[in-house]
Amino acid sequence: MEFWNKELETLKSQKLRQLQLERLKKTILRVYQKVPHYRVKFQEAKVKPTDIKHLEDIHKLPFTTKEDLYVDYPFGLVALPVEKLIRLHTSSGTTGKPKAIFFSKKDINNSADIIARCLVMTGAKRGDILQNSMTYGLFTGAFVMHYGAEKVGILVIPAGPGNTERQITLMRDFGTTMLHITPSYALYVASVILDKGIDPRKDLKLKRAYLGAEPYSEETRKKIEEMLGIDIYNCYGLTEMNGPGVGFECKYKAGLHIWEDNFLMEVINPESGEPVKDGEIGELVLTTLNREAMPLIRYRTRDLTRIIPEPCKCGRTHRRISRILGRSDDMFIVKGVNIFPQQIEQVLMSIKGVAQNYQIILESYDEMTVKVEIDKELFDGKIERLIKMKEEIIDKIRSATMVKPKVELLEPGTLPISEGKAKRVIDNRTI
Protein backbone atom coordinates (compact mmCIF):
# COMPACT_ATOMS: atom_id res chain seq x y z
CA MET A 1 0.00 0.00 0.00
CA GLU A 2 1.44 3.33 -1.08
CA PHE A 3 1.52 6.45 1.05
CA TRP A 4 2.25 10.07 0.22
CA ASN A 5 3.24 10.91 3.78
CA LYS A 6 3.38 7.63 5.67
CA GLU A 7 4.38 9.16 8.97
CA LEU A 8 1.45 11.55 9.13
CA GLU A 9 -1.07 9.21 7.56
CA THR A 10 -0.34 6.44 10.07
CA LEU A 11 0.34 8.58 13.12
CA LYS A 12 -0.72 6.73 16.29
CA SER A 13 -4.13 7.94 17.44
CA GLN A 14 -2.82 9.45 20.63
CA LYS A 15 -0.18 11.46 18.77
CA LEU A 16 -2.76 12.53 16.21
CA ARG A 17 -5.03 13.84 18.98
CA GLN A 18 -2.06 15.69 20.49
CA LEU A 19 -1.28 17.29 17.15
CA GLN A 20 -4.94 18.23 16.74
CA LEU A 21 -5.02 19.86 20.15
CA GLU A 22 -1.86 21.88 19.48
CA ARG A 23 -3.24 23.07 16.16
CA LEU A 24 -6.68 23.76 17.58
CA LYS A 25 -5.27 25.98 20.32
CA LYS A 26 -3.15 27.86 17.81
CA THR A 27 -6.09 28.32 15.45
CA ILE A 28 -8.41 29.57 18.20
CA LEU A 29 -5.84 32.06 19.42
CA ARG A 30 -5.22 33.31 15.88
CA VAL A 31 -8.86 33.90 15.03
CA TYR A 32 -9.41 35.57 18.40
CA GLN A 33 -6.58 37.98 17.68
CA LYS A 34 -7.03 38.49 13.95
CA VAL A 35 -10.72 38.08 13.13
CA PRO A 36 -13.05 40.53 14.90
CA HIS A 37 -16.09 38.51 13.83
CA TYR A 38 -14.81 35.53 15.85
CA ARG A 39 -13.66 37.63 18.79
CA VAL A 40 -17.17 39.03 19.17
CA LYS A 41 -18.75 35.59 18.82
CA PHE A 42 -16.41 34.10 21.43
CA GLN A 43 -17.10 36.99 23.80
CA GLU A 44 -20.84 36.50 23.35
CA ALA A 45 -20.38 32.81 24.20
CA LYS A 46 -18.21 33.84 27.17
CA VAL A 47 -15.27 31.76 26.06
CA LYS A 48 -11.59 32.70 25.78
CA PRO A 49 -8.81 30.92 23.88
CA THR A 50 -7.29 29.80 27.20
CA ASP A 51 -10.50 27.88 27.98
CA ILE A 52 -9.56 25.38 25.28
CA LYS A 53 -7.44 22.84 27.13
CA HIS A 54 -8.73 19.57 25.67
CA LEU A 55 -10.22 18.62 22.29
CA GLU A 56 -13.62 18.19 23.96
CA ASP A 57 -13.55 21.86 24.94
CA ILE A 58 -14.42 22.62 21.33
CA HIS A 59 -18.04 22.23 22.45
CA LYS A 60 -17.73 25.50 24.33
CA LEU A 61 -17.17 27.39 21.07
CA PRO A 62 -19.96 28.76 18.91
CA PHE A 63 -20.71 27.27 15.49
CA THR A 64 -19.89 29.02 12.24
CA THR A 65 -22.80 28.83 9.81
CA LYS A 66 -23.09 29.54 6.12
CA GLU A 67 -24.78 32.80 7.10
CA ASP A 68 -21.63 33.87 9.00
CA LEU A 69 -19.79 33.87 5.68
CA TYR A 70 -22.13 36.56 4.38
CA VAL A 71 -21.65 38.83 7.36
CA ASP A 72 -18.88 41.35 6.58
CA TYR A 73 -18.73 39.82 3.09
CA PRO A 74 -16.28 39.33 1.49
CA PHE A 75 -13.21 39.66 3.73
CA GLY A 76 -14.88 39.40 7.14
CA LEU A 77 -13.48 36.03 8.17
CA VAL A 78 -10.01 36.46 6.69
CA ALA A 79 -7.11 36.26 9.13
CA LEU A 80 -4.40 37.64 6.82
CA PRO A 81 -3.86 40.98 5.08
CA VAL A 82 -4.85 41.02 1.37
CA GLU A 83 -1.15 41.11 0.34
CA LYS A 84 -0.81 37.59 1.69
CA LEU A 85 -3.78 36.17 -0.23
CA ILE A 86 -3.08 34.53 -3.56
CA ARG A 87 -6.32 32.81 -4.58
CA LEU A 88 -10.07 33.27 -4.32
CA HIS A 89 -12.68 30.60 -4.86
CA THR A 90 -16.40 30.86 -4.36
CA SER A 91 -19.04 28.27 -3.72
CA SER A 92 -21.61 27.32 -6.29
CA GLY A 93 -24.25 28.90 -4.03
CA THR A 94 -27.61 28.88 -5.73
CA THR A 95 -29.08 31.96 -4.12
CA GLY A 96 -27.76 35.43 -3.35
CA LYS A 97 -24.09 36.12 -2.76
CA PRO A 98 -21.51 33.38 -3.21
CA LYS A 99 -19.41 32.24 -0.27
CA ALA A 100 -15.91 33.61 -0.82
CA ILE A 101 -12.93 31.57 0.37
CA PHE A 102 -9.35 32.83 0.26
CA PHE A 103 -6.07 30.96 0.17
CA SER A 104 -2.54 31.97 1.11
CA LYS A 105 0.48 30.40 -0.60
CA LYS A 106 0.78 27.95 2.28
CA ASP A 107 -2.92 27.06 2.00
CA ILE A 108 -2.59 26.33 -1.72
CA ASN A 109 0.41 24.15 -1.07
CA ASN A 110 -1.35 22.37 1.76
CA SER A 111 -4.53 21.73 -0.22
CA ALA A 112 -2.38 20.19 -2.97
CA ASP A 113 -0.64 18.05 -0.39
CA ILE A 114 -3.98 16.77 0.88
CA ILE A 115 -5.00 15.78 -2.64
CA ALA A 116 -1.63 14.11 -3.17
CA ARG A 117 -2.30 11.92 -0.12
CA CYS A 118 -5.77 11.10 -1.47
CA LEU A 119 -4.64 10.16 -4.96
CA VAL A 120 -1.69 8.05 -3.84
CA MET A 121 -4.00 6.27 -1.39
CA THR A 122 -5.98 4.93 -4.38
CA GLY A 123 -2.89 3.68 -6.19
CA ALA A 124 -2.36 6.71 -8.46
CA LYS A 125 1.24 7.52 -9.32
CA ARG A 126 3.62 9.11 -11.82
CA GLY A 127 2.75 7.86 -15.28
CA ASP A 128 -0.97 8.19 -14.63
CA ILE A 129 -2.92 10.64 -16.78
CA LEU A 130 -5.77 12.50 -15.09
CA GLN A 131 -8.55 13.98 -17.18
CA ASN A 132 -9.99 16.66 -14.97
CA SER A 133 -13.58 17.08 -16.14
CA MET A 134 -14.71 19.34 -13.31
CA THR A 135 -15.37 23.02 -13.88
CA TYR A 136 -12.30 25.28 -13.89
CA GLY A 137 -13.16 28.69 -12.53
CA LEU A 138 -14.54 30.05 -9.31
CA PHE A 139 -15.50 26.51 -8.23
CA THR A 140 -12.71 24.78 -6.27
CA GLY A 141 -13.29 21.32 -7.76
CA ALA A 142 -10.97 21.39 -10.75
CA PHE A 143 -8.16 23.64 -9.52
CA VAL A 144 -7.54 21.97 -6.17
CA MET A 145 -7.45 18.52 -7.76
CA HIS A 146 -5.24 19.85 -10.56
CA TYR A 147 -2.55 21.17 -8.23
CA GLY A 148 -2.62 18.04 -6.09
CA ALA A 149 -2.24 15.73 -9.07
CA GLU A 150 0.65 17.80 -10.43
CA LYS A 151 2.32 17.56 -7.06
CA VAL A 152 2.30 13.76 -7.34
CA GLY A 153 3.78 14.09 -10.83
CA ILE A 154 0.65 13.01 -12.66
CA LEU A 155 0.02 14.38 -16.15
CA VAL A 156 -3.15 16.48 -15.94
CA ILE A 157 -5.48 17.12 -18.87
CA PRO A 158 -7.48 20.21 -17.84
CA ALA A 159 -10.51 19.17 -19.89
CA GLY A 160 -13.23 20.88 -17.86
CA PRO A 161 -16.79 19.57 -18.17
CA GLY A 162 -18.96 19.21 -21.26
CA ASN A 163 -18.28 18.59 -24.94
CA THR A 164 -18.60 14.87 -24.46
CA GLU A 165 -17.27 14.00 -27.92
CA ARG A 166 -14.07 15.84 -27.09
CA GLN A 167 -13.87 14.17 -23.67
CA ILE A 168 -13.88 10.79 -25.39
CA THR A 169 -11.36 11.90 -28.00
CA LEU A 170 -9.03 13.11 -25.25
CA MET A 171 -9.38 9.77 -23.46
CA ARG A 172 -8.51 7.87 -26.63
CA ASP A 173 -5.75 10.13 -27.94
CA PHE A 174 -3.84 10.62 -24.71
CA GLY A 175 -4.63 7.36 -22.93
CA THR A 176 -6.39 8.89 -19.92
CA THR A 177 -6.06 6.55 -16.94
CA MET A 178 -8.11 8.51 -14.40
CA LEU A 179 -11.12 10.83 -14.43
CA HIS A 180 -12.23 13.48 -11.99
CA ILE A 181 -15.89 14.10 -12.70
CA THR A 182 -19.33 14.48 -11.13
CA PRO A 183 -21.36 11.26 -10.82
CA SER A 184 -24.21 12.61 -12.95
CA TYR A 185 -21.88 13.58 -15.79
CA ALA A 186 -19.94 10.31 -15.45
CA LEU A 187 -23.17 8.38 -16.01
CA TYR A 188 -23.79 10.37 -19.17
CA VAL A 189 -20.25 10.08 -20.52
CA ALA A 190 -20.27 6.32 -19.83
CA SER A 191 -23.53 5.91 -21.74
CA VAL A 192 -22.16 7.86 -24.73
CA ILE A 193 -19.00 5.73 -24.75
CA LEU A 194 -21.07 2.56 -24.87
CA ASP A 195 -23.52 3.95 -27.45
CA LYS A 196 -20.60 4.65 -29.76
CA GLY A 197 -19.67 0.99 -29.62
CA ILE A 198 -16.43 1.72 -27.77
CA ASP A 199 -15.38 -1.07 -25.44
CA PRO A 200 -13.89 0.83 -22.50
CA ARG A 201 -12.07 -2.28 -21.26
CA LYS A 202 -10.25 -2.72 -24.58
CA ASP A 203 -10.30 0.62 -26.35
CA LEU A 204 -9.55 2.92 -23.39
CA LYS A 205 -6.89 2.93 -20.70
CA LEU A 206 -9.20 4.14 -17.91
CA LYS A 207 -8.43 2.54 -14.54
CA ARG A 208 -10.16 4.68 -11.97
CA ALA A 209 -12.34 7.74 -11.48
CA TYR A 210 -12.83 10.17 -8.64
CA LEU A 211 -16.48 11.11 -8.28
CA GLY A 212 -17.75 13.86 -6.06
CA ALA A 213 -19.23 17.36 -5.76
CA GLU A 214 -22.72 15.96 -5.34
CA PRO A 215 -24.36 13.12 -3.43
CA TYR A 216 -24.71 9.75 -5.11
CA SER A 217 -25.45 6.23 -4.02
CA GLU A 218 -23.51 2.99 -3.91
CA GLU A 219 -25.79 1.76 -6.72
CA THR A 220 -24.62 4.59 -8.99
CA ARG A 221 -21.00 3.78 -8.20
CA LYS A 222 -21.55 0.12 -9.11
CA LYS A 223 -23.41 0.99 -12.27
CA ILE A 224 -20.62 3.24 -13.61
CA GLU A 225 -17.92 0.79 -12.48
CA GLU A 226 -19.60 -1.93 -14.49
CA MET A 227 -20.24 0.25 -17.52
CA LEU A 228 -16.61 1.36 -17.76
CA GLY A 229 -14.74 -1.49 -16.04
CA ILE A 230 -12.98 0.86 -13.62
CA ASP A 231 -12.66 1.54 -9.89
CA ILE A 232 -14.57 4.53 -8.59
CA TYR A 233 -13.46 6.39 -5.50
CA ASN A 234 -15.71 8.72 -3.61
CA CYS A 235 -14.28 12.20 -3.16
CA TYR A 236 -16.00 14.60 -0.80
CA GLY A 237 -15.34 18.23 -0.14
CA LEU A 238 -16.82 21.68 0.08
CA THR A 239 -15.49 25.03 -1.02
CA GLU A 240 -15.45 26.34 2.55
CA MET A 241 -12.94 23.59 3.48
CA ASN A 242 -10.66 23.95 0.38
CA GLY A 243 -12.87 21.89 -1.93
CA PRO A 244 -12.15 18.27 -2.87
CA GLY A 245 -10.11 15.98 -0.63
CA VAL A 246 -11.79 16.69 2.71
CA GLY A 247 -12.95 13.06 2.67
CA PHE A 248 -11.58 10.46 0.29
CA GLU A 249 -11.78 6.71 -0.07
CA CYS A 250 -8.77 4.43 0.06
CA LYS A 251 -8.45 1.20 -1.90
CA TYR A 252 -10.89 -0.54 0.45
CA LYS A 253 -13.72 1.83 -0.55
CA ALA A 254 -15.34 1.49 2.85
CA GLY A 255 -15.91 5.08 3.94
CA LEU A 256 -13.99 8.29 3.37
CA HIS A 257 -10.88 9.11 5.38
CA ILE A 258 -10.88 12.61 6.83
CA TRP A 259 -7.36 14.02 7.25
CA GLU A 260 -7.62 14.71 10.93
CA ASP A 261 -4.38 16.67 11.15
CA ASN A 262 -6.15 19.23 8.92
CA PHE A 263 -9.74 18.96 10.05
CA LEU A 264 -11.30 18.40 13.44
CA MET A 265 -14.58 16.62 12.86
CA GLU A 266 -17.71 16.42 14.93
CA VAL A 267 -21.08 14.95 14.11
CA ILE A 268 -24.00 16.71 15.74
CA ASN A 269 -27.74 16.51 15.95
CA PRO A 270 -28.72 19.25 13.46
CA GLU A 271 -31.66 20.37 15.59
CA SER A 272 -30.15 20.46 19.06
CA GLY A 273 -26.52 21.10 18.08
CA GLU A 274 -25.46 18.43 20.58
CA PRO A 275 -22.95 15.73 19.57
CA VAL A 276 -24.50 12.41 18.56
CA LYS A 277 -23.14 9.11 19.94
CA ASP A 278 -20.10 7.69 18.18
CA GLY A 279 -21.19 6.11 14.90
CA GLU A 280 -24.63 7.74 14.79
CA ILE A 281 -25.86 9.81 11.85
CA GLY A 282 -25.88 13.57 12.12
CA GLU A 283 -24.54 16.77 10.57
CA LEU A 284 -20.81 16.96 9.91
CA VAL A 285 -19.13 19.93 11.59
CA LEU A 286 -15.54 20.77 10.67
CA THR A 287 -12.86 22.99 12.16
CA THR A 288 -9.80 23.78 10.06
CA LEU A 289 -6.59 23.00 11.92
CA ASN A 290 -4.01 24.04 9.39
CA ARG A 291 -5.40 26.96 7.46
CA GLU A 292 -3.77 30.34 7.35
CA ALA A 293 -5.93 32.69 5.30
CA MET A 294 -9.37 31.71 6.45
CA PRO A 295 -9.62 29.42 9.46
CA LEU A 296 -13.17 28.29 10.18
CA ILE A 297 -14.33 27.14 13.58
CA ARG A 298 -17.05 24.50 13.99
CA TYR A 299 -18.34 25.02 10.49
CA ARG A 300 -21.75 23.49 9.92
CA THR A 301 -21.55 21.70 6.58
CA ARG A 302 -25.25 20.67 6.50
CA ASP A 303 -24.01 17.31 5.17
CA LEU A 304 -25.36 14.23 6.89
CA THR A 305 -23.04 11.33 7.65
CA ARG A 306 -21.67 9.23 10.49
CA ILE A 307 -18.20 8.57 11.81
CA ILE A 308 -16.85 5.06 11.24
CA PRO A 309 -14.79 4.64 14.40
CA GLU A 310 -13.21 1.26 13.55
CA PRO A 311 -9.64 1.32 12.18
CA CYS A 312 -9.26 0.89 8.42
CA LYS A 313 -7.47 -2.08 6.88
CA CYS A 314 -5.22 0.29 4.92
CA GLY A 315 -3.35 1.25 8.10
CA ARG A 316 -4.24 4.93 8.03
CA THR A 317 -5.23 6.11 11.47
CA HIS A 318 -7.35 9.03 10.28
CA ARG A 319 -10.97 8.11 10.88
CA ARG A 320 -13.53 7.65 8.16
CA ILE A 321 -17.03 8.94 7.55
CA SER A 322 -19.76 7.15 5.64
CA ARG A 323 -20.86 8.26 2.20
CA ILE A 324 -22.77 11.57 2.54
CA LEU A 325 -26.39 10.59 2.97
CA GLY A 326 -27.69 13.95 1.83
CA ARG A 327 -27.72 17.58 2.82
CA SER A 328 -30.14 18.67 5.45
CA ASP A 329 -31.22 21.40 3.01
CA ASP A 330 -31.73 18.92 0.11
CA MET A 331 -34.47 17.16 1.97
CA PHE A 332 -38.00 17.75 0.75
CA ILE A 333 -41.33 16.87 2.27
CA VAL A 334 -44.21 15.13 0.52
CA LYS A 335 -47.30 13.94 2.41
CA GLY A 336 -45.53 14.89 5.60
CA VAL A 337 -42.65 12.49 4.91
CA ASN A 338 -39.01 13.63 4.79
CA ILE A 339 -37.36 12.43 1.59
CA PHE A 340 -33.80 12.74 0.31
CA PRO A 341 -33.24 12.65 -3.46
CA GLN A 342 -30.61 9.98 -2.89
CA GLN A 343 -33.21 7.50 -1.62
CA ILE A 344 -34.88 7.72 -5.02
CA GLU A 345 -31.61 7.55 -6.92
CA GLN A 346 -30.65 4.42 -5.03
CA VAL A 347 -33.86 2.69 -6.11
CA LEU A 348 -33.61 3.80 -9.73
CA MET A 349 -29.99 2.77 -10.20
CA SER A 350 -30.68 -0.71 -8.87
CA ILE A 351 -33.36 -1.40 -11.51
CA LYS A 352 -32.28 -3.06 -14.72
CA GLY A 353 -33.19 -1.04 -17.78
CA VAL A 354 -33.08 2.35 -16.06
CA ALA A 355 -30.74 4.69 -17.93
CA GLN A 356 -28.65 7.49 -16.41
CA ASN A 357 -30.99 10.44 -16.05
CA TYR A 358 -33.95 11.23 -13.82
CA GLN A 359 -35.74 14.17 -12.23
CA ILE A 360 -38.08 14.56 -9.29
CA ILE A 361 -40.84 17.11 -9.90
CA LEU A 362 -42.77 18.60 -7.01
CA GLU A 363 -46.00 20.41 -7.86
CA SER A 364 -47.81 20.00 -4.55
CA TYR A 365 -47.16 18.81 -1.00
CA ASP A 366 -49.12 15.61 -1.63
CA GLU A 367 -47.47 14.29 -4.71
CA MET A 368 -44.14 13.74 -6.39
CA THR A 369 -43.51 12.78 -9.97
CA VAL A 370 -40.39 10.89 -10.91
CA LYS A 371 -39.38 11.26 -14.54
CA VAL A 372 -36.87 8.63 -15.49
CA GLU A 373 -35.10 7.77 -18.70
CA ILE A 374 -34.92 4.09 -19.59
CA ASP A 375 -32.94 2.12 -22.18
CA LYS A 376 -34.11 2.80 -25.71
CA GLU A 377 -34.49 -0.92 -26.51
CA LEU A 378 -37.41 -0.99 -24.09
CA PHE A 379 -39.47 1.24 -26.40
CA ASP A 380 -40.00 -1.59 -28.87
CA GLY A 381 -43.77 -1.69 -28.74
CA LYS A 382 -44.01 -4.33 -26.00
CA ILE A 383 -46.22 -2.29 -23.72
CA GLU A 384 -46.54 -4.99 -21.00
CA ARG A 385 -42.85 -4.77 -20.25
CA LEU A 386 -43.08 -0.99 -19.79
CA ILE A 387 -46.09 -1.31 -17.50
CA LYS A 388 -44.25 -3.90 -15.39
CA MET A 389 -41.20 -1.71 -15.14
CA LYS A 390 -43.26 1.31 -14.13
CA GLU A 391 -44.95 -0.75 -11.42
CA GLU A 392 -41.62 -1.99 -10.15
CA ILE A 393 -40.30 1.59 -9.90
CA ILE A 394 -43.45 2.81 -8.12
CA ASP A 395 -43.37 -0.11 -5.66
CA LYS A 396 -39.69 0.22 -4.83
CA ILE A 397 -39.85 3.99 -4.35
CA ARG A 398 -42.90 3.57 -2.18
CA SER A 399 -41.19 1.05 0.06
CA ALA A 400 -38.02 3.19 0.26
CA THR A 401 -39.78 6.49 1.01
CA MET A 402 -43.32 5.56 2.18
CA VAL A 403 -44.73 7.79 -0.57
CA LYS A 404 -46.26 6.42 -3.75
CA PRO A 405 -44.87 8.46 -6.64
CA LYS A 406 -46.20 9.13 -10.10
CA VAL A 407 -43.68 7.76 -12.58
CA GLU A 408 -43.07 8.75 -16.19
CA LEU A 409 -40.79 6.60 -18.33
CA LEU A 410 -38.88 8.57 -20.93
CA GLU A 411 -36.56 7.85 -23.82
CA PRO A 412 -32.88 8.61 -23.26
CA GLY A 413 -32.00 12.21 -24.09
CA THR A 414 -35.36 13.65 -23.02
CA LEU A 415 -34.19 15.26 -19.78
CA PRO A 416 -31.52 17.98 -19.65
CA ILE A 417 -27.97 16.61 -19.51
CA SER A 418 -25.91 17.56 -16.51
CA GLU A 419 -22.24 18.40 -17.05
CA GLY A 420 -21.56 19.61 -13.52
CA LYS A 421 -23.74 19.29 -10.48
CA ALA A 422 -27.07 17.85 -11.52
CA LYS A 423 -30.36 19.48 -10.61
CA ARG A 424 -32.42 16.46 -9.62
CA VAL A 425 -35.31 18.09 -7.79
CA ILE A 426 -37.53 20.62 -9.52
CA ASP A 427 -39.65 22.17 -6.82
CA ASN A 428 -42.45 24.17 -8.43
CA ARG A 429 -44.39 24.62 -5.20
CA THR A 430 -44.95 28.27 -4.56
CA ILE A 431 -46.04 28.24 -0.94
14 SS3 class: helix
Q: Is 235 in the site for ligand AMP (CB under 6 A)?
A: yes
Q: Is 301 in the site for ligand AMP (CB under 6 A)?
A: yes
What radius of gyration do the chain's Cα atoms show? 22
Q: Is 312 in the site for Zn ion (CB under 5 A)?
A: yes
Q: Is 149 in the site for ligand AMP (CB under 6 A)?
A: no
- Amino acid symbol at 192: V
Tell me the closest approach of the beta carbon of residue 289 to ligand AMP, in angstroms.
Answer: 19
Angle at 94 between CA 189 and CA 270, to 5 degrees: 100
Tell me the closest approach of the beta carbon of residue 96 to ligand AMP, in angstroms.
Answer: 14
Q: Is 156 in the site for Zn ion (CB under 5 A)?
A: no
Q: Which does 314 bind (CB under 5 to 8 A by kind): Zn ion, ligand AMP, none?
A: Zn ion
By CB under 6 A, name the one of 98, 148, 160, 237 that touches ligand AMP: 237
Q: Is 307 in the site for Zn ion (CB under 5 A)?
A: no
By CB under 6 A, name the one of 80, 154, 186, 213 that touches ligand AMP: 213
CB count within 10 Å of CB 363 equals 14
**Per-residue x/- mask for ligand AMP, residues 89 to 118, rule CB under 6 A?**
--xx--------------------------
By CB under 6 A, name the one of 111, 239, 357, 359 that touches ligand AMP: 239
Please give the Cα distance from 179 to 118 (Å, whole number): 14
With respect to Zn ion, which residue has the nearer C-beta, 244 or 420? 244
By CB under 5 A, name the one of 152, 204, 314, 347 that touches Zn ion: 314
With respect to ligand AMP, which residue has the nearer C-beta, 110 or 301? 301
Tell me the closest approach of the beta carbon of residue 345 to ligand AMP, in angstroms.
Answer: 11
Contact indicator for 211, 227 with CB cutoff of 8 Å: no
The HSE-up count of residue 429 (CA atoms within 13 Å, CB side) is 16
Beta pairing class for 354-364 and 326-327:
unpaired
By CB under 5 A, name the one of 31, 100, 114, 250 that touches Zn ion: 250
User: Which residues are within 8 A (CB) of 340 and not within 5 positions of it... i.e. 6 or more apart?
Assistant: 215, 325, 326, 330, 331
Q: Is 214 in the site for ligand AMP (CB under 6 A)?
A: yes
Please give the Cα distance from 231 to 218 (Å, whole number): 12
CA 114 from centre of chain: 15
Task: Provide the edge-to-edge strand list for the sheet that holds 406-410.
Answer: 406-410, 367-374, 354-364, 425-427
Tell me the closest approach of the beta carbon of residue 183 to ligand AMP, in angstroms.
Answer: 8
- Alpha-carbon torsion 286, 287, 292, 294, what sign? positive
148 SS3 class: helix
Q: Where are the alpha helices (DSSP H) in 229-376?
A: 341-349
Q: Which does 301 bind (CB under 5 to 8 A by kind): Zn ion, ligand AMP, none?
A: ligand AMP
Please give the Cα distance from 128 to 123 (Å, whole number): 10
Stretch that binds ligand AMP, among 62-70, 228-236, 313-321, 402-410 (CB under 6 A): 228-236
Q: Is 77 in the site for Zn ion (CB under 5 A)?
A: no
Contact indicator for 172, 162 with CB cutoff of 8 Å: no
Q: Which does 237 bind (CB under 5 to 8 A by kind): Zn ion, ligand AMP, none?
A: ligand AMP
- Interface residues with Zn ion (CB under 5 A)? 250, 312, 314, 316
- Interface residues with ligand AMP (CB under 6 A)? 91-92, 140, 212-215, 234-239, 243, 301, 303, 324, 327
